[in-house]
Amino acid sequence: MHVEPFVIDVEEPVLYDLRARLEHTRWPGPAPGAPWAQGTDLAWLKSLAAYWEDGFDWRARERALNAWPQFVADVDGVRVHFVHVRRGGLPLILTHGWPSAFTELLGLIDRLPAFDLVIPSLPGYGFSSRPPVCTTRDVASLWHTLMQGLGYERYGAGGGDWGAAVTTYMALEAPERLLGIHLSNLDNAPTPTTPLTAAEQAFVAATEHWDATERGYSFEQGTKPQTLAYGLTDSPVALAAWLLEKWRSWADTGGDLARFDRDFLLELVTLYWVTNTIATANRDYFDNRAAGTALLGPDDFVTVPTAIANFHSNFVSEGCLPREWAERIYNVQSFRNLRHGGHFAAAEEPALLAADISAFFAP
């Protein structure tokens, strides 16, 4: 496996074009009713776009990102970008999800000093290429190849959202390689073979309600991602609206995106923009829907020791994921209900997440 150092260096014409598009945005009228009730609020987005055009300093963010050791590797024909921090500790690969990037996980690095950390960009995100078809099962195989190519025979794995699904398939496909896995949410659902407990029934009902009110993005990306890609690729404002509405509703924000540093959010959106990867990232939903990789079969069971950090505001509110639901498909050794944090746990509560990871892998 060939590995090369990597430095982020976006060409100036790309940034100039971004500012020009922001300046010439064609805005819709405001939606009736309460702000955010029909989607991203107009006044909030106009304010963000004005700062993005005239106040946001991408070069400063670029320099900060380049302070971390980054590399690209050819892994079975896929260009994989990753951060790699070697310390001589326990090897651990951490995987982000959608609509996120490797940047979400960087706040964990200094909080996990006992680990050798590998933080890759999913195929089709940021600086990683994407094959024509790529499921979470495919990524799991790539990650095993990557870790072994870096000299690790056994290692831990963790992640949330798509990262949780990738980690699950890593454990299913090569359990002998993994010391343990840590998940900050469940992205794969079991196929119940016995009656549901009362807590599981409540969880399923809450999930169905969430699907009915929040799942529209997933159906569109899972069926017609290319149609959506034209607008998101052409308009930076549309891209920001599409991504950040999810950060507001899925995180423990109380409806206020001021919970996150504005520069951090724009760093994320700008990363999607300058790499022109929203179309390839959204394709995760189409490929995994077609392959049926979201629902595990009745015979699938992860024997690798598993820890689950159940953050309070992760998708379904009130932190109502019951342990017995997870135990249908995982060898759960640790299950902690955390009262703060949501879907983007590494960015929201990095100290809580890092402490949970450290405690699980310490033995």
In the chain, the percentage of residues whose pLDDT exceeds 90 is 88
CA dihedral (274, 230, 133, 302) in degrees, to 10, reads 80
Query: Helices 262-275 and 58-65, interaxial angle, to 10°?
Result: 90
Using only C-alpha atoms, what is the Rg of the chain?
20
What pLDDT does 194 receive? 87
Residue range 348-361: average pLDDT?
98
Q: How is the beta sheet containing 115-120 ordered, strand by strand?
A: 3-6, 70-75, 78-85, 115-120, 90-95, 155-159, 178-183, 302-313, 330-342
What would the pLDDT profile of 320-345 be if each residue is shown by its tens digit? 799 999 999 999 999 999 989 999 99
Least confident of 78-82, 124-128, 199-203, 304-308: 199-203
CATH for 64-191+299-361? 3.40.50.1820
Beta-bridged to residue 116, according to DSSP, are 91
Is residue 299 a contact partner of residue 328, using CB atoms and an 8 Å limit? no
Residue range 8-14: average pLDDT?
98
> Range(s) for CATH 3.40.50.1820 in the chain?
64-191+299-361
Q: Which segments within the chain are labelled E, that is strand?
A: 3-6, 70-75, 78-85, 90-95, 115-120, 155-159, 178-183, 302-313, 330-342
Residue range 237-256: average pLDDT?
96
What pLDDT does 316 receive? 66
Q: Is the pLDDT of residue 319 over 80?
A: no
What would the pLDDT profile of 145-171 be if each residue is shown by its tens digit? 999 999 999 999 999 999 999 999 999
Residue range 15-40: average pLDDT?
97
Residue range 220-244: average pLDDT?
98
> What amino acid positions are annotated as catalytic residues?
161, 285, 343
CB atoms within 10 A of CB 217: 17
What would the pLDDT profile of 184-231 be if each residue is shown by its tens digit? 998 888 888 889 999 999 999 988 888 898 999 999 999 999 999 999
